[in-house]
Amino acid sequence: MLPPHVAVWQSVRIHGETKTERSRRTLDLPQVAADALRDLLAVQAREQADAGERWQDTGLVFTTRHGAALDAARVRKMFKRVCKATGAGDTWTPRELRTSFVSVMSPVITTGAEIMGKVFKAS
């Protein structure tokens, strides 16, 4: 069985390609992230059942309760609320987190998933 991972091979950019060849990679995921994504899948299944015909099957991981794409303003607002609630402050942006996460999880750092697993277990 493969360990939890995510393949970053495509993008939501107009042409569906990542910005550079180097951007294409497979990243290990800490178990806590894999578990959270499985939980999210179960929540979305319930939301889809509740939404019925209003459900929009976009294929996205993070969506509104009707399956639609989240707009940037909503993501920033939700992100700030989570950061504040966890004591991380309210100055972080989703882009900073994405950059930091991908840097830590890069295949160059083979223990990235283990480190992130420990970080999230401690909180």
Beta strands in the chain (DSSP E): 5-8, 25-28
- Averaged over successive runs of 10 residues, the pLDDT of the chain (123 residues) comes to 72 60 74 91 96 94 92 90 89 80 63 72 65
What is the per-residue pLDDT for 85? 92
> pTM value?
0.63
Chain-centroid distance, C-alpha 60: 10
What is the per-residue pLDDT for 90? 83
**Distance (Å, whole) CA 30 – CA 32:** 5
